[in-house]
Amino acid sequence: MARNKIQWRTPALVWTSSFLLFYIIFRSAMNSSSSSSSSTLGSGSVADRRSRLYDGMARDLDEHGAKFLEGGETSQSLSLSDLFELKDGSVTPVLRAANPPVRANVLYLDPKYSIPISQAVKEIFLPYFDGVIWFQNTSLYHFSMFHASHHLTPVIANDNEIEAEANAVKAVAETLCPLKIVLDRVVLTSTGVLLGCWQVISGADPVTIRAKLRNALPRAPEKQLARNLLIFYI
């Protein structure tokens, strides 16, 4: 796939409070790739280390096989049939409410960029797998950066506390944008998730962004869902 240059001209760190488990399901489907790669932090520049991390993720399918074809389990013991169902011949996610709601900081990808990416993926896959792939809504493409609260370690907050968190995140975002990134490679994981893996050309690295968010959100769960600080994928 051609390299797509992407630039955010406006602060793009968006605060989302998701009431849907959908997001968690998506993470759980990706967990095997991030956990298997989280011990590969070595020496070299952040970009080199991230590149090696992506190498590991790219090997995942070869090493573990296409588990999704067998309806294999994800790391949270959810099988693919727990996550998706067939509706009118099309794969549809099974949505469940997250209780308590997740408070996630994500980098949002503008549809100006997400739509061409989605179209390219569709052109490549649909001739072979029509009806058996679920495509994420292009209005919702995002990079997961940092959780103020997640399903494994819920951090309950009232409206005022959430407002304070949002302001702290906003202050961080204002100093970190814009960010120029490039699509490094596309990886299909053994659990059947297609990931776009990115590198940073200029601007704050995700490692820095996460460190600043950690600082700004002292109550956030120690153990984050994106276990590898280098990782930067949609």
Residues at the site binding ligand NAG, with contacts judged by CB under 6 A: 137, 139-140
- As measured in angstroms, the least distance from the Cβ of 142 to ligand NAG is 12
Sheet holding 142-149, edge to edge: 13-20, 97-108, 142-149
- As measured in angstroms, the least distance from the Cβ of 139 to ligand NAG is 4
Q: Dihedrals φ, ψ of 139, to 5°? A: -75, -10
Length of the chain (residues): 234
- As measured in angstroms, the least distance from the Cβ of 138 to ligand NAG is 7
Residue with nearest beta carbon to ligand NAG: 137
206-224 as b/e, with b when 16 or more CB fall inside 10 Å? bbebbebbeebbeebbeeb
Q: Please identify, using beta-carbon distances, which residue of 35 and 92 lies nearer to ligand NAG.
A: 92
- As measured in angstroms, the least distance from the Cβ of 188 to ligand NAG is 23
Q: Please identify, using beta-carbon distances, which residue of 22 and 146 lies nearer to ligand NAG.
A: 22
CB of 20 within 8 A of CB of 97?
yes
Q: Please identify, using beta-carbon distances, which residue of 53 and 83 lies nearer to ligand NAG.
A: 83
Q: Please identify, using beta-carbon distances, which residue of 10 and 137 lies nearer to ligand NAG.
A: 137
Q: Please identify, using beta-carbon distances, which residue of 79 and 139 lies nearer to ligand NAG.
A: 139
- As measured in angstroms, the least distance from the Cβ of 234 to ligand NAG is 15
Handedness of CA 57, 189, 230, 120 (dihedral sign): positive
